[in-house]
Structure 1
């Protein structure tokens, strides 16, 4: 199995078909293969040997895609840096991964001289950055034969975490990235003539996995640098996009825009979502506003090469929208207690997974790898339960579970109740210190413009929905958006930090 094989196939079968659409630039599959082979030659000429690492600090673009495949074509290892990292996090990843080459775009041109001073060769996605650009490199070099790895060879390192301690570089192979997509494809298929709108950042496993997987199918990739509801809608209408991958936060914002300014979204045939729980209210609105779309939820994590379970469209129609679906082919999951023992059906515990997509390990962190993968089972850090039919229900991140007065409260359940209030646009539920209860349930809410809402309203709204001990005891109402990670998730660690400064959080 080899990620670059799909480039060769598409160039042979669909040479004149659009592979990449980014702004006004359109690149065919034949052109893309040639550009990738020439850029790979430039990487090799700059001193990158097979197995060396090449990092990218750039937003989504066609040049990013060319770079990613050129790294693999040259037999090197791709490391996409998170474009939302702070300076210290970029420095850490640079020192940790020790890349031979850095590729930056105009957003990070200021870093070029610093990277160069660190002894790293630096290239630019665009002209005018003071370093050789991808366009210049492609024109200067002749294409080289592919020297990429395959199977269990390391293909990429994707950094996760970083908000609660040392970032973790997840090592993924060609075979892991390919089989994870094919497992999901076996459950619910994408069309081979798909037009995919890429919004999720490709430094995240969801965005990269969608790129690799849909390239295997020969789809056309329409690429946006970031998420904006108006731009997303315009792209869908202009290019007749058929497939989107969004996180629930994006879906909520898209629905808000469509309510205000209706548009023709009839081309959307498939909307895949995941990364965090979706509220029933947002899901119902999306299904109404995107009537031709089949909704599919995928649950997984970077350490699993993305996907573990899939909830297909029929399951949504059957009222299983709160489930994360059933385990995909080739995958296994189990629920265990704190002693690592499997628990009965319906009992909440930690989700563990065994699958071909389980990572090779954490880069330079063998001890953490050994703690995370035990007897072939990956400890996901997520809490969930499985019902009699094999459907997985996510309760929370284990670390986000709130213990108040000896009772376990899963924030996702509280958030789902709050999100069904019409005045709530976003919310995050966290545990904060409480002298009496140890922790109390605290809700941080972005209110919806034009709909007045008070703490009393929210308390009354939650009363019939969740038990008293689960209801928030304190609130913080905001008019602005909550902090989001590069993957579009609400950054609970950042919201929690002010409450727990100088304290040791004990959750049992």
Structure 2
């Protein structure tokens, strides 16, 4: 199994079929294959060797799609960069992965001076925009045009496909190592479940393409030789227009995106009847939002996917039938490719209805964390991926997430590790101590909330601390609310009691997470 396998099949069977649609550009399977082979040749000519890491920092585009294929075609490893990160986080991931080449678009080209300063070892930058290439970069189209195509290395199986960076409990992102088999297994299992993705489908990339959740849709199109309809970034009008103009059949959206579409005043002016399936994840969907969404997308089934980057990413699925029956509190049952258990602190499976930790195993489980052997061993104890989510399983195999064992917040579908934000806040001169917790939020599911102790004689405002955090971490990780206290509650061992900080916000709620 390898990522480019579906492209070879499509060229053989339907070379003139449309593979990508981006703005006014459409490209066939044969055209994409030729461009991918040339881009792979260009990478080899630029010194990219077997297993070298190649990064991409940019919005969604047809060139992003070609990058995802060309890098393994050149026998190299993907490193899709989180576009919501701060420059410091971007630099960390490039340095940590020792990326040899960076693709960058017009939106992020302004960060190049800071990236080069923080990572002077970066050998080559390729500009993917439509305008002139900035000084010190190579033009994407020019390098393709002057290089002969090369044969596909057919890198696959258990070989490393990509590094997908996720938040870290120590304050630094971790590079999740996923193989080709990991990614294809998760895609095959999701497709086999029947919740979405059929032959001849047209998938809309509205979620960011660096994200594993969107990559499942991309992988499904590879398997089925379907069309990738791509918009640069989520926008309610752009989503509705793309669905209408290109008769989109499937898409992935987080609940916040779904709500933005169904609440938009221009919704009645668009024909969205082509949409057959909406997969969402990151958080449950409120029943009121689902009701409006079912009216907005009258022919669409809804399915929820639960998982994590380390699981490539799907672990469980809540089916369309479950949605029709109103079973919205559950995160679903094990996907066809996954085995799921609820265990106690000693990794013994607990009785049904008892809360424990969700652990998962299967062919989609990560190879490990890049250069982090201790954290890998801790996460993959006993050959099971320990998710850090507290949940129980009912007699029919449905799991219900009730808490988090890891110190993590999920806000707007994005994972935020508290340590990352606490480290950023601690660098403000007025901050003596900071603890970060997730609190309920009607819009974001959970809100990043900071509880801060100031140094004697120092002052700071919530706005000031939030802006300070944004200079060091992605804006979605920065506190949306700040509470000042004289002292933080601590245990006898001196550990901050975050459950005490969260208690007043979650009082009376059945779940302790959203």
Same fold (TM over 0.5): yes
Which residue, out of 246, 256, 265, partners 2:263?
Answer: 256
Paired residue for 2:133? 129
SS in 2 for 1:39: helix
- Please state if 1:428 is matched with 2:446: yes
Which residue, out of 477, 491, 494, partners 2:479?
Answer: 494
Distance 2:478 2:303 in 1: 28
Which residue, out of 209, 221, 243, partners 1:214?
Answer: 221
Following superposition, the deviation at residue 261 of structure 1 comes to 4.2
- Please state if 1:323 is matched with 2:308: no
Following superposition, the deviation at residue 26 of structure 1 comes to 0.5
Residue by residue over 1:171-206, the C-alpha shift from the partner in whole angstroms, topping out at 9 and shown as x without a partner, is: 000011001111111111521111111011111111
SS in 2 for 1:11: helix
Cα distance, 1:502–1:303 mapped onto 2, change above 3 Å: farther
Following superposition, the deviation at residue 164 of structure 1 comes to 6.4
Paired residue for 1:233? 240
SS in 1 for 2:479: helix
SS in 1 for 2:245: helix
Following superposition, the deviation at residue 263 of structure 1 comes to 2.3
Paired residue for 2:360? 353
- Please state if 1:7 is matched with 2:7: yes
Paired residue for 1:143? 149
Cα contact 1:336–1:342 (8 A) shared by 2:
yes
Cα distance, 1:433–1:60 mapped onto 2, change above 3 Å: closer
Q: Show the 5 A alignment for 1:274-313.
A: 274-313=281-320
Cα distance, 1:213–1:500 mapped onto 2, change above 3 Å: farther
Q: State the superposition RMSD in angstroms.
A: 2.8
Residue by residue over 1:182-233, the C-alpha shift from the partner in whole angstroms, topping out at 9 and shown as x without a partner, is: 1111111521111111011111111122212221111100101111101111
Cα distance, 1:295–1:22 mapped onto 2, change above 3 Å: same
Following superposition, the deviation at residue 501 of structure 1 comes to 11
SS in 2 for 1:156: strand
Which residue, out of 184, 206, 224, partners 1:178?
Answer: 184
Cα distance, 1:373–1:31 mapped onto 2, change above 3 Å: same
Cα distance, 1:321–1:33 mapped onto 2, change above 3 Å: same
Paired residue for 2:203? 196
- TM-score, with structure 2 as normaliser: 0.80
Which residue, out of 147, 158, 161, partners 2:164?
Answer: 158
Distance 2:187 2:111 in 1: 34
Distance 1:100 1:118 in 2: 8
Paired residue for 1:51? 51
SS in 2 for 1:494: coil
Could you tell me which runs of 5 or more consecutive residues in structure 2 were left unpaired when the two chains were aligned. Answer: 410-436, 454-461, 463-468, 489-494, 500-514
Residue by residue over 1:65-123, the C-alpha shift from the partner in whole angstroms, topping out at 9 and shown as x without a partner, is: 11121101000000001111111101111110111111111112234455494342111
Distance 2:322 2:241 in 1: 30
Q: Compare 203-212 and 258-267 and name the one that shifted more.
A: 258-267
Paired residue for 1:61? 61
- Please state if 1:118 is matched with 2:121: yes
Paired residue for 1:505? 496
Distance 1:66 1:430 in 2: 36
Following superposition, the deviation at residue 162 of structure 1 comes to 5.1
- TM-score, with structure 1 as normaliser: 0.81
Cα distance, 1:132–1:501 mapped onto 2, change above 3 Å: farther
Paired residue for 1:71? 71
Cα distance, 1:144–1:239 mapped onto 2, change above 3 Å: same
Distance 1:72 1:430 in 2: 37
Cα distance, 1:84–1:501 mapped onto 2, change above 3 Å: farther
Which residue, out of 355, 369, 374, partners 2:381?
Answer: 374
Cα distance, 1:401–1:21 mapped onto 2, change above 3 Å: closer
Residue by residue over 1:358-417, the C-alpha shift from the partner in whole angstroms, topping out at 9 and shown as x without a partner, is: 100001111100010001011101121111111111223334699xxxxxxxx99x95xx
Residue by residue over 1:437-467, the C-alpha shift from the partner in whole angstroms, topping out at 9 and shown as x without a partner, is: xxxxxxxxxxxxxxxxxxxxxxxxxxxxxxx
Alignment coverage as a number of residue pairs: 442
Distance 1:173 1:199 in 2: 25
Cα distance, 1:86–1:431 mapped onto 2, change above 3 Å: closer
SS in 1 for 2:263: helix
Cα distance, 1:350–1:152 mapped onto 2, change above 3 Å: same
Distance 2:408 2:152 in 1: 48
Distance 2:209 2:67 in 1: 12
Distance 1:163 1:88 in 2: 17
Cα contact 2:359–2:384 (8 A) shared by 1:
yes
Paired residue for 2:81? 81
Cα contact 2:450–2:479 (8 A) shared by 1:
no
Distance 1:229 1:273 in 2: 16
SS in 2 for 1:34: helix
Residue by residue over 1:328-366, the C-alpha shift from the partner in whole angstroms, topping out at 9 and shown as x without a partner, is: 123111112334332211122211111111100001111
Distance 1:324 1:429 in 2: 20
Cα contact 1:59–1:105 (8 A) shared by 2:
yes
